[in-house]
Amino acid sequence: MRYGSDGLRYFYETQMARLPTQLAKAQTAGALAQYGDMARAASAYEAALVPGPPRPAAIRYVDYGSELRDSAAVLSFAAANPGNQARLTGVIDRIAERFSRAARTSTQEQAWLLMAAEAAVKAGGGTMTVASDGGAPQSRTEPLYLRRLLGSGTPPMMITNRGDTPAWRAVSITGVPAADLPAESRGYAVSREVFRSDGAAADLGKARQTELFVVVIKGTRTDASQSAQTLVVDLLPAGFEIETATVSKGRSTTDYSWLPELTDATYTEQRDDRFVAALDLKNGAKDFTLAFVVRAVTPGEFKYPALVVEDMYEPETTGRTAIGKLIVGAR
């Protein structure tokens, strides 16, 4: 539906109080500002910038949003209006607080966080003045990046904000796990089994080059009261490559009738290093089963990476298998 200026004003007057998210209010404010109705735009931004009630759970797959995504989007919209500059610090603080509690982020959250970061820089005038270790203050328009090795014994460094605008810091830690990650179940319980073509259990310590194997993935949702868009990513060990991501029980060369009932996937993809599937699980759909065929191609001893399943728009709802082992012998 398209609104002219009169229709937009009517929408604001009649629907503003009923909008379910802060983002929807910010979008309305941005539209009013584009039409030049700055009085109504200011009022709509006022409603958008004030923390609102929790997002209704029922709209998760209507707008694919979250509290974090909406806060980042509100900042992106509001920063374009000069009248909102004094109010943006509170939004930035909310984003920082919610981001610090997010173990994982969705693609929607990542995209809007990137735009929010750009908006935050512009909102601060694009310049910050900082001093390192008590040295002379320096004004800069680019972020200050510091890279330090953990446990290296180097002395701490002090960064002081010498400007008159807020400065924000972000800390990222990267590294390689000291030990294999264990299995995990936070909303999904998942398993992976590997069979020979005839349905017999495969011994992954005695695979041979050119042999075919069927990988069967099973998952169960802890809470099936709502629909979910589920992403399944099964990383391959280096000794395997995918033969086919779509298993047919009636193939003329191989009979896979021993397989259990398989779940219809919305999308599947076979890559060099992984099998990917997307599932639309409806209300009440608790279990799913997938299968694909791999071939042993490279002799050697390999780690078998974990299978990971997650809700695409609630990535903290996830499940993971333990890391396994594969040995492929020469033919």
Same domain, 303 and 207: yes
Q: What pLDDT shows up at residue 67?
A: 92
Q: Which of 128, 42, 47, 54 is nearest to 85 (CA)?
A: 42
Q: Which of 69, 18, 78, 76 is nearest to 48 (CA)?
A: 78
Provide the residue type at 77 as one letter.
Answer: F
- DSSP letter string, 218-287: EEEES--SS-EEEEEEEEPPTTEEEEESS--TT-SS---TTS-PPPPPSEEEE-SSEEEEEEEEPTT--E
Q: Which residues of 297-318 are buried (b: 16+ CB within 10 A; e: fewer)?
A: eeeeebebbbbbbbbbbbbebb
Provide the residue type at 65 as one letter.
Answer: G
Q: Which domain holds residue 99?
A: 5-123
Q: Say how far apart CA 70 and CA 68 lie, in whole Å.
A: 5
Per-residue pLDDT of the chain (331 residues; tens, 9 = 90+): 455 678 999 999 999 999 999 999 999 999 999 999 999 999 999 999 988 888 888 888 888 899 999 999 999 999 888 777 778 888 888 998 898 888 888 889 999 999 988 887 776 666 889 998 888 998 988 888 888 887 777 788 899 999 887 777 777 888 888 889 999 999 999 999 999 999 999 999 999 999 999 999 999 999 998 889 999 999 999 999 999 887 765 544 567 889 999 999 999 999 999 999 999 999 899 999 999 999 999 999 999 999 999 999 888 899 999 999 999 999 8
Q: What pLDDT shows up at residue 128?
A: 84
Q: What pLDDT shows up at residue 125?
A: 61
Q: Say how far apart CA 318 and CA 199 lie, in whole Å.
A: 29
Same domain, 235 and 306: yes
DSSP 8-state assignment for residue 35: T
Number of residues that make up the chain: 331
Q: Which of 291, 231, 302 is nearest to 266 (CA)?
A: 231
DSSP 8-state assignment for residue 18: G
If you compute the radius of gyration of the chain from its CA atoms, what whole number of angstroms results?
26
Q: What pLDDT shows up at residue 226?
A: 87
Same domain, 322 and 194: yes
Phi, psi of 94 (to 5 degrees): -65, -40
Q: Domain ends where: 81, 97, 123?
A: 123
Q: What pLDDT shows up at residue 252?
A: 44
Same domain, 322 and 226: yes
Instruction: Count how many domains the chain has.
Output: 3
Q: What pLDDT shows up at residue 305?
A: 96
Same domain, 306 and 188: yes
Residue 24 C-alpha from the chain's centroid: 21
Kindly report the CATH number assigned to the domain that includes residue 238. Answer: 2.60.40.690
Same domain, 321 and 191: yes
End-to-end CA gap in the chain: 64
Tell how many helices (H) and how many strands (E) occur in the chain. Answer: 7, 16
Q: Say how far apart CA 227 and CA 283 lie, in whole Å.
A: 5
Same domain, 155 and 250: no
CA angle, corner 317, sides to 226 and 110, nearest 5?
105
Q: Say how far apart CA 147 and CA 173 lie, in whole Å.
A: 10
Same domain, 131 and 119: no
Same domain, 23 and 38: yes
Answer whether 183's CB lies under 8 Å from 322's CB.
Answer: yes
Q: What pLDDT shows up at residue 258?
A: 92
Answer whether 88's CB lies under 8 Å from 76's CB.
Answer: no
Q: Domain ends where: 101, 123, 145?
A: 123
Same domain, 260 and 196: yes
Same domain, 102 and 223: no
Q: Domain ends where: 98, 123, 148?
A: 123
Q: Say how far apart CA 178 and CA 217 lie, in whole Å.
A: 27
Same domain, 242 and 189: yes
Residue identified by tokens 């594969």 is: 326
